[in-house]
Amino acid sequence: MAVVSGPRPRARLAPRPRPFAEPRESLLERLGVLRLDFPLLAAAVGLIAFSVYTLGETTAGDVPGNPYYYAIRQAIYGVVGIALMLALARVDYSRFRELRVGLYTAMIASISLVFLFAEATRGSRRWIELPFFTFQPSELGKLLLIVTLAAIVLERLPRQSEAKRTLRVLLLGAIPAGLVFLQPDLGSSLVYAVITVAVLFVAGTSWKHLAAIGAAAALAAAVVLWLAPALGKPILEPYQQDRLTAFLSPSEDPRDSSYQINQSLISIGAGGKTGRGDNATQTRDGFLPEHHTDFIFAVVGERYGFVGAAFVLSLFALLIWRALRIMTLSKNLYGAIIAGAIAAMLMFHVFVNVGMNVGIAPITGIPLPLMSSGGSSVIVTFMAIGLLQSIYVQSQLASRSRE
């Protein structure tokens, strides 16, 4: 039988499996927005938005010809701060641990620059005039101190006992605090002290050492406020000492050292439950000093009453709670220390500022975060929140990698 030859049919190859097509990330996902802690973000944005609104309503007559001067500037600071917050949220905060020496040096250098370039304002040298911005190095120094001390306290140096480590951290915290105190800026120097103690506390420093620090602080306060003046060698300026003690007896000198406290108490008391609105005469007629900075909480109390004050405090409670929550979620101890120190800084700011507005704390010039008008304070606070967001984002990424 003849065999017919011809072209063989080609074998059909099985189709190659197509690689799994991952869904394309949206712009928000690429920016890392969808991984952020939204309650923390909502609290921060809510505070800056309410600040802009309050300043727009209450400072219309402060700058002739420009009724929205403070509101517009505060809005610009808020936008810049939010942009920096989102940028920091995308950075792994652990990288700052390697830069601790350079960051600490930059902090000391920037604080020292005010003695060379800052002009005296009301007896203090705190601000450096830039072309479009007035920079206060002590505000940025708070955040740099947190990042650097958190890294330094974790260093395991040979032949270094816990006592030596505690003394080393205290010394490194005392140097910038002393420079800020010499400006003079008593309020910010106290914030530096609180940050230093908070870093030691979260790092697990012995209670004996913390108790010794507390006793030394109480002794220092007694020397500064009582012993040194009694011996005729006061450490503080007279106006500083009056501010620190005026809240104890506000009725003794209502026209001088106690004037601010009394006007603040009148403003808050006049606000009642729902506020006086456009009839807030303490602010409108200029009786309440520094109503756009140190005493903005009194403005909120008079204009919006108990409801407005409770709203602001609720946002701060949410902000601080999320900071403490992020501290517990951190992927490492370095992030936990940073988050804990930021939470302590925010709590101290809120307690002292609100306390001096309601007459239970001395007047130290500490601003109310994201509420008081001021570029350095607003921007640095948002940067601190950006670090918190970075810690949160990194904790989420670490938990996903373990799944």
Phi, psi of 269 (to 5 degrees): -65, -35
Give the residue from 329, 335, 352 showing the smallest Cα distance to 146.
Answer: 335
Spatial separation of the C-alpha atoms in residues 229 and 242, rounded to whole Å: 12
For residue 1, what pLDDT is reported? 46
Spatial separation of the C-alpha atoms in residues 126 and 140, rounded to whole Å: 12
Question: Does 232 map to a domain?
Answer: no
**Residue 320 vs residues 79, 138, 268, 286: alpha-carbon distances, Å:** 21, 22, 24, 33
Question: Does 361 map to a domain?
Answer: yes
Chain segment 239-297, per-residue pLDDT in tens: 667 667 666 666 555 555 677 888 888 888 888 898 888 887 787 777 888 888 889 99
Question: Does 342 map to a domain?
Answer: yes
Question: Does 58 map to a domain?
Answer: yes
Question: Does 397 map to a domain?
Answer: yes
* DSSP per-residue letters across 306-337: HHHHHHHHHHHHHHHHHHHHHHHH-SSHHHHH
Confidence band for 403, pLDDT divided at 50, 70 and 90: low
> What average pLDDT does the chain have?
85
For residue 134, what pLDDT is reported? 83
Question: Does 4 map to a domain?
Answer: no
Chain segment 78-104, per-residue pLDDT in tens: 999 999 999 999 999 999 999 999 999
- Check pLDDT > 80 for residue 5: no
For residue 64, what pLDDT is reported? 81
Confidence band for 105, pLDDT divided at 50, 70 and 90: very high
Residue 347 tokens read as 């709590």
* DSSP per-residue letters across 371-395: TS--HHHHHHHHHHHHHHHHHHHHH
Question: Does 29 map to a domain?
Answer: no
For residue 278, what pLDDT is reported? 81
Sign of the dihedral defined by the CA atoms of residues 65, 132, 181, 120, in that order: negative
- Residues with Cβ within 8 Å of residue 400, at least 6 apart in sequence: none
Question: In total, how many domains does the chain have?
Answer: 1
Question: Does 112 map to a domain?
Answer: yes
Domain that holds residue 252: 42-205+237-402
Q: What type of residue sits at position 210? A: L
Confidence band for 16, pLDDT divided at 50, 70 and 90: low
Has this prediction a pTM greater than 0.85? yes
Dihedral angle at the C-alpha atoms of 22, 25, 26, 29, nearest 10 degrees? 140
